[in-house]
């Protein structure tokens, strides 16, 4: 348990600067009540503003429809690059 508290901040210290330099962000949506294997959707976007916008859009779609837009692929499927 204590290891999580050490690893998470260290990973954040590496990942956030790398995202800022490369400009690519992975947006992930988890749906706990989705069918097994299809409850995670992900998409690469350019820039933090686009990541924030995608997260807000997915949240609205999940609240409205129960899942993100059909264009999003489940984990293991094609991902926009």
- Close Cβ partners of 25 (under 8 Å, ≥ 6 residues apart): 19, 44, 45, 46, 47, 48, 50, 51
Check residue 37 and give its pLDDT. 55
Model pLDDT, residue 49: 92
**pTM, whole model, 2 decimals?**
0.58
Task: In whole angstroms, give the CA distance from residue 68 to residue 74.
Answer: 10
pLDDT at 22: 83
- Model pLDDT, residue 79: 45
pLDDT tens-digit profile, the chain (81 residues): 677 778 888 888 888 788 778 888 888 877 766 555 567 778 889 988 999 999 999 888 888 887 776 445 444 444 443
């Amino acid at each position: 348990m204590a290891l999580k508290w050490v690893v998470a901040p260290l990973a954040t210290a590496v990942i956030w600067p790398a995202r800022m330099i490369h400009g690519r962000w992975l947006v992930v949506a988890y749906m706990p009540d989705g069918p097994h294997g299809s409850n995670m959707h992900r998409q690469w976007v350019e820039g933090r503003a686009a990541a924030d916008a995608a997260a807000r859009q997915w949240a609205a779609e999940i609240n409205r429809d129960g899942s993100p837009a059909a264009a999003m692929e489940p984990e293991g499927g094609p991902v926009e690059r």
